[in-house]
Structure formats: structure tokens, C-alpha cells
Amino acid sequence: MSRDDADHNAHDSDDTNADAFVNPAERRRRQLALGALGLMIVVFIVLSAFSFLDSRDQVVPESITYAGAFGAVDGKRVFQSYNCMGCHTIVGNGAYFGPDLTDIYENAGPAWLAAYLPSAGSWPTEAALRTQLPNANQLAETGIDELDVYYAAYPGARERVERRGGGTTFMPNLGFRANEVNDLIAFFKYTAALDTEGWPPEPKVDGLLHPMASGPIAIVDASTPAGAAGAASAGLSAAVDLAAQGAGVAQQYGCLACHAVDATALVGPGWGGLFGASEALTDGSDAVVDEAYLAESIRDPDAQVVAGYQAGVMPAYANVLSDEEVDAIVAYIRTLETR
């Protein structure tokens, strides 16, 4: 036997002797450590396998649509492209400047969202909400065309209208296109359907009862023209001033959230100096803004769309406003001469 073989055999003999003298308690600790490691490997493999399942009794964005045509996936892209999480929290992520939006669809419903999102600079009034009830997408989704039924299904809409309707907000008008609004509604429908396991938590104190909480905002009654009460108290029976009534109707239906009283372009063209002007249309033609043009634009806003603006953003008021109310708004626009 060579010297190297002898040294090797002696080394093996030393290892065997060392193993023979290992403390039994130490051996058990080693075995337990190896067993725990093996168990963690098995758990890791099982959890990894579950992560590849399509769903674990949880909704997925691909399965949620609004009115069958607008998807939550596209809505999430819109939400991200406008950096909404810079102000709002949703499903536990985002900032806290604005309200949490996780359950906004469940609380306020699609008609309120459709009334609010295109002109977010002011809170929708009840009249503005009512104009969205006949919307084909809203009807296809909820089947509700009566305000009282809608309030029963979405009580948050009533609270928002009564407490803040007609007031201003801190949110800017973002100029959403019609399809973007519908996609956002689909996204909010998805987040409301998620099982968030109690997040966000319910507040321990009702903030609406706090002394600093704002109370209901008085809404202009379009049926009572400005100055009518004073005229009545003075015993006057003069005819209603049509332009003053138009100002009330415009306020009641939220028109001034999208149209400025000067030439400033908001969601729609400014009304200041609009009457009598010539407007370029998206079809390449020009139109003179007279009574007939304004009345048609109110009843069917997509009939002639001004260049630079999107069709499908303004709701049609043909079945919402009476002829007298349309005439009143037109008369009010005529008084806004500065441009």
C-alpha cells in the first residue's frame, strides 16, 4: 500500500470516529433543520403552482366589462395614463389627497360617474344625474331609468348630490374622451367587485357628522327664475325673464362645469361671445352660431361638433329639457357677449 493510500484510509477512519462521537442532541437538531428545509421547499413548490392558476375565486380584469363593450383592462390604462393615483388611493395603492376610489362604483353607480368624470371641476347636480339615466350604456348595465330606483341601488349617489351637488371640486377637468369615461367606469366596476379582505377599513367615526363637514349645498331651482321671489313679494306679475331663467337652468343641469361664461375653453367651448360667431366644425365646414344652431347643439350635441372637441362627451338633452328651457339657455348665451 502506498503512503497516500494509507493517509487516505487514516483520514476516513478519523471521520468515522468523529461521527461516532457526535452528540445525539446535535444530530437531532441537524435532522430537524434538514426536515424544516425540505418542508419549506415543498411549500414553495405548492404555492408557486397555485400562482399559475387563472383565479382563486377572485375576479380578474379580463372578466369585467361595462355595458358589455368597455373593459376593465383598458380602464386601468386610462387610470394610469392620467396619473389618477397621484391623488387617489385604489385597492390600497396611491395617494391620499383625494377620496379612495376602490368602491366608488358600488357606492355611486355608473350614471353618477358618467355625470361627474367629463366635467370633474364641479359635483353633479340631481338634474345632471338625471340626464345620464337614459344613457344607453347605463341602461344596458343597470336597467334603471328612474331616479328613486337609482338612489335605492346606489345610495352614495344621493349623498353626493345632496351634500355637494353644484359645488366646485379640487379635481381639474381632464378632458376625458367618451370611450375613456366608459373604460374608467369598467375599471371601477372591477375594483368594487374585488374581495379586498376589509381594505380600506371602515372609519371608526362618521366624517359626515364632524362639525367641520360641509352641509348640503343649495341647488338653484330652474323653475324659479332669478328675482321671481322679489317680484312676487312686490306684487308684480311681469313675465319671467328668459335669460335669467336660462342662467338658472344652466346652473341646475351642470352646464357651467363644461362651458365657461367667457371664451375660456373647458370641456366644451366657452359661451362668452359665442352667439353670432362662426365656428369651424370637425367635418371641415363652418357654422354661424345662431338660435337654431345653439338649440340643436343642446338637444343633439353630436349633430355638429366644433373642431378640436370630441363627439360623445356631452349628453343629449332632447328628452331632458323642455322647449322653454332650451330657449332660456339660448337667451342666456346671447347675453354673454364678451369674447
pLDDT digits (tens, 9 = 90+) for 115-143: 999 989 889 999 999 999 999 999 999 99
The yes-or-no verdict on residue 224 having pLDDT over 50 is: no
Taking each helix axis from N to C end, the angle separating 104-116 and 178-193, rounded to the nearest 10 degrees, works out to 170
Domain boundary among 128, 162, 193: 193
Task: Give me the amino acid identity at 157.
Answer: A
Phi and psi, residue 245, nearest 5°: -65, -40
- The whole-number pLDDT of residue 231 equals 41
Q: Is residue 7 part of a domain?
A: no
The CATH number of residue 329's host domain is 1.10.760.10
Does the pLDDT of residue 51 top 50, yes or no?
Answer: yes
Higher-scoring residue by pLDDT: 74, 6: 74
* 79 shares its domain with 168: yes
Q: Domain of residue 132: give its range.
A: 61-193
| Whether the predicted pLDDT of 32 surpasses 60 | yes
> What's the pLDDT score for residue 48?
86
Q: Are residues 151 and 269 in the same domain?
A: no
Q: What is the CATH number of the domain that holds 169?
A: 1.10.760
Q: 172 with 86, same domain?
A: yes
Residues, the chain, total? 339
Say which residues have a Cβ less than 8 Å from residue 261's Cβ, sequence separation at least 6.
Answer: 270, 271, 272, 336
**Helix, strand or coil for residue 51?**
helix
The answer to the question of residue 20 being in a domain is no
pLDDT of residue 149: 97
Asked whether residue 272 falls in the same domain as residue 166, the answer is no
Tell me the CA end-to-end span of the chain in Å, nearest whole number.
112
Residues 174 and 263 in one domain: no
- What are the distances in angstroms from CA 300 to CA 296, 311, 326? 6, 11, 12
- 250 contacts 273 by C-beta, under 8 angstroms: no
Q: Is residue 207 part of a domain?
A: no
Q: Which residue in the block uniquely carries the three cell numbers 372591477?
A: 190
Q: Which of 154, 174, 193 is the last residue of a domain?
A: 193
Residue ranges of alpha helices (H) inside the chain are 3-20, 24-51, 72-81, 104-116, 126-132, 136-142, 147-153, 155-164, 178-193, 228-233, 242-252, 291-299, 323-335
What CA–CA distance (Å, rounded) separates 305 from 275?
16
Grid cell, residue 249, equals 337652468
**What CA–CA distance (Å, rounded) separates 290 from 299?**
14
Residue 249 in any domain: the answer is yes
**Domain assignment present for 265:** yes
Query: Which DSSP state fits 124?
Result: P
**pLDDT above 80: residue 92:** yes
Based on the fold, state whether residues 150 and 247 are members of the same structural domain.
no
Q: Does 14 fall in a domain?
A: no
- 19 pLDDT band (50/70/90 cuts)? low
**Is 141 among the domain residues?**
yes
Is the residue at 103 inside a domain? Answer: yes
Predicted TM-score of the model (pTM): 0.68
Domain count, the chain: 2
Q: Are residues 166 and 247 in the same domain?
A: no
